[in-house]
Amino acid sequence: MHRRALRTLILLTVGVLVAGCSEAGQPPPPAADGLAAQLKEFQEGYFQRQPPFAVSQGRHEFDGKLPDWSADGLKATAAWLHEQRTKAEAFKPETLNDQQRFEQRYLTSVIDGDLFWLENAQQPFTNPGYYLDGGLDPNTYLSRPYASPDVRLKAFVKYAQAVPKAAEQIRANLRMPMPKSFIKYGADGFGGLADFYRSDVPQAFASVTDPELKSQLSASIEPAAQAMRGLADWLNSNLATGTEDFALGPQRFADMIRMTEGVTTSLAELEQVGRADLARNSDALKQACAQYKPGLPIEQCLAAMAADKPTVGVVDEARNQLATLRQFVVDKDLVSIPGTEQAQVAEAPAYMRSNSAYIDIPGPFDKGMPSIYYIAPPDPTWPKEEQDAYIPGKNDLLFTSAHEVWPGHFLQFLHANRSPFEFGQLFVGYAYAEGWAHYTEEMVWDAGLGNGSPETHIGQLTQALLRDVRFLCAIGMHTQGMTQATCEQMFREQAYQDPGNARQQAARGTYDPAYLNYTMGKLMIRKLRDDWVATRGGRTAWKEFHDKFLSYGGPPIPLVREQMLGPSAPSALF
């Protein structure tokens, strides 16, 4: 669900479990060396129950399979997760070494996160995002060249043949009435898949000439498209009775950040921290605009920054930026760059343009596959004014490139591949991944990117303000009764978003309450950095800090804090 899957193979040594019974007649706790076997058991069992996750990691024996989303299947998955947690907790901490204790807690945190969304939040029954974000996307078969187009077409056909049954299960699970924003999100997502199957999939496999395979593709597309369109139409038919009852509530929201990210900070303190960061970035924006466009209102200052478009095209501009950013990381000695891998940059194909920019990094079992940073062009059917506005300004793009590649997600993945904590090579938390990528945007500015240019600083600050408002909207809408309309107004007035983006961002906060993790993760990493380097040379220790932080894979940041500072270190996360 809210977990970015990294791409390295877990190499686990299977230990020997101790047999026998204790004096009380109960089995003794398992031997420490059996933890590796337990991690392996969990990994393989997880692949069986979440085959799209396995496919994303490169385990293509799972190609075409979808999870069992029936009520009985979901119940069985929850029971298995509880069983796995019991097995993990059976290892007594005093029998484990430091790394084993870390991996034991890492494993239970992964299980707790899944259990929160499955049981506490009841997402399979309340939120279409559970399915849209949890396996229905078939892009791996279309966009990743892990095999010939013929082989990948066969995988897609198998997937498409599984879609009608999945649609039946989804419709049986989702309960009405549902929040209007959830209905719209689900209808757009399921309806978009129907259009995607019909128009984009044939284009993606246009190079396949085998008439039998093409016939199988044609025969599988329409039933799958009709199933998804039927779901969309059914959701839309319930829009009239839709509600505004999307809030998790204070207790469940607190449970969310505790079970998914290990954060036990009070909601009142979290809000205070978020408001302070919003104020800090707002003040910095005013100062940067006063330098960049003295006397102009903030909105006109931002418009001027956005109007500074790439002159060589967005893809070529991004390629140039990646070279510049990588060299900047090296010159400033900010973090190690393990290996020689480079991310490619490409224009997003027509069937992958729902996001303006993103990076696709193959899983650990897909050896030798390229990582591609995709940038979507504007829709050619839009009016010219809208097309022009869609193209990012150079400084907007610069910090997107930093977030996605150097030193953001791509560099994080290079380190994760080499992590000594092997479980972290597959399971990476939302706050760890997005927190790191967002943290690096400000970190490179602080390190001198742009040589103090106020225009460059404005590009960084617009990203920060957007994430600050997400943070406060998540808390406000889910714990304080804030309306979606009020959140939308915050995006317009405090993050300076256009009306369309403001609507989209506010709606996202209703069905993705964990989108506070960008800022929450960033702030936890900053605090950990400052505490860690305070006794190690300050700014000169940044590289050592970054390398050590990235060595853990992707567990909850509080767990990383304990590992880096020790259990007796101050526990304040922010």
pLDDT tens, residue order, the chain (574 aa):
333 333 332 222 223 222 333 334 455 678 777 999 999 999 999 999 999 999 998 899 999 999 999 999 999 999 999 999 999 999 999 999 988 999 999 999 999 999 999 999 999 999 999 999 888 999 899 989 999 999 999 999 999 999 999 999 999 999 999 999 999 999 999 999 999 999 999 999 999 999 999 999 999 999 999 999 999 999 999 999 999 999 999 999 999 999 999 999 999 999 999 999 999 999 999 999 999 999 999 999 999 999 999 999 999 999 999 999 999 999 999 999 998 899 999 998 766 676 788 998 887 788 788 899 999 888 888 888 888 888 999 999 999 999 999 999 999 988 987 777 777 888 999 999 999 999 999 999 999 999 999 999 999 999 999 999 999 999 999 999 999 999 999 999 999 988 888 998 999 999 999 999 999 999 999 999 999 999 999 999 999 999 999 999 999 999 999 999 998 777 899 9
Q: Which residues contact 306 (CB under 8 A, 6 or more apart)?
A: 389, 392, 393, 396
Report the C-alpha gap between 18 and 316 in whole angstroms. 59
Q: Which two tokens stand for residue 219?
A: 């025969």
Q: Is residue 15 situated within a structural domain?
A: yes
Residue 495 is classified by DSSP as S
What is the domain extent for residue 116?
3-241
Q: Is residue 100 situated within a structural domain?
A: yes
Q: Is residue 503 situated within a structural domain?
A: no
Q: Is residue 131 situated within a structural domain?
A: yes
Q: What confidence score (pLDDT) does residue 205 get?
A: 96
Whether 76 contacts 177, CB under 8 Å: no
Q: Is residue 68 situated within a structural domain?
A: yes
Q: Is residue 378 situated within a structural domain?
A: no
Spacing of C-alpha 114 from chain mean position? 14
Please give the tally of structural domains in the chain: 1
For 469, other C-beta atoms within 10 Å of its C-beta total 27
Q: Is residue 424 situated within a structural domain?
A: no
Q: Is residue 18 situated within a structural domain?
A: yes
Question: Residue 68 corresponds to which amino acid?
Answer: D
In a 3-state reduction of DSSP, which class is residue 120? helix
In a 3-state reduction of DSSP, which class is residue 360? strand
pTM metric for this prediction: 0.92
Report the C-alpha gap between 541 and 534 in whole angstroms. 9
Tell me the C-alpha to C-alpha distance, in Å, between residue 443 and each of 5, 181, 430.
Answer: 24, 35, 19
Q: Which two tokens stand for residue 75?
A: 């119940």
Report the C-alpha gap between 549 and 512 in whole angstroms. 26
Per DSSP, what are the bridge partners of residue 358? 374
